[in-house]
Amino acid sequence: MVPRIAVILLLLLLSHGALAQILSKPRPATRGAVSPADIAERLEKSANETARIVPSAARGSAIDFAWPMTAEEYAATAKHVLVLVSVVTQDAAELPLRRVHIRAGGKDVELVRLSHELVGVAKGSRTFSVLGAHREDGFYLAPARAMMAEGYLQADFATRRSDFNLYKLPATAPDFIRSDKSPEPPADSKPDLAAVRAMIVREYKGFKPPTFERTMLPFSEKLASLEF
């Protein structure tokens, strides 16, 4: 399986009312498929860590990303990386996320949203009491070059909060991708959606595969003409 790095980020609401954002250190590279229970466990651990500092947080997140496994899959995805973003918030009005993007080198690169789903949070969990009752899971495609740049993977919520840091880039790519002298998606390229779906099924067991409806957010005009 493809090595992946997961990270959990929390936006903490301090007792005096000020907001502080804390990024945990990247988790060690892991192998094997990630399940909804794995993400729930990561959020639960984050809630426990948060509760040692403050009673509750405005919102929190956990991300996971998977690089293409082979050069052939890299080409089939048009040099994109698969990203799973899970967010939890106290305020239901903040969901669904308005967009997920990469800010690097003074530029914003918006990710392609493949799917998003509102997920319940167990009422007896620490996640529910500390981070919130409202969770969304979403799959995205990010260009390989942007994921390897110095910057931040960020999310804009529907209301109240924009530029919420999800991950401190760069991410560590496989050797065959790092050796690519031109990791930017080719002009007018179209990811093979069957290959993307197969990758999701392989890497994220138990998550609902996207149906690739036209409601997905455009990454750029070059993807607007994708055939569904």
From the list 137, 151, 153, 133, the residue with the least C-alpha distance to 209 is: 137
Q: Which residue has the higher pLDDT, 13 or 55?
A: 55
Percent of the chain clearing pLDDT 90 (strictly above): 72
Q: If pLDDT is split at 50, 70 and 90, which confidence band does 140 have?
A: very high
**Average pLDDT for 157-181:** 96
d(CA 158, CA 166): 16
Structure-token pair, residue 83: 């990203």
Residue 41: pLDDT over 60 = yes
Measured distance between the N- and C-terminal CA atoms of the chain, rounded to whole angstroms:
28
The predicted pLDDT at position 153 comes to: 97
The 10s digit of each residue's pLDDT in 80-114 is 999 999 999 999 999 999 999 999 988 999 999 99
Range in 55-59, 73-77, 98-102, 210-214 the model is least confident about: 210-214
Range in 65-69, 181-185, 189-193, 221-225 the model is least confident about: 221-225
**Average pLDDT for 123-146:** 97
Q: Which residue has the higher pLDDT, 55 or 32?
A: 55
d(CA 136, CA 1): 25
Residue 1: pLDDT over 90 = no
**Average pLDDT for 10-31:** 40
- Rg of the Cα atoms in the chain: 17
Round the average pLDDT of the chain to a whole number and report it: 84
From the list 89, 57, 210, 84, the residue with the least C-alpha distance to 158 is: 89
The predicted pLDDT at position 132 comes to: 97
Q: Which residue has the higher pLDDT, 215 or 91?
A: 91
Q: Which residue has the higher pLDDT, 61 or 25?
A: 61
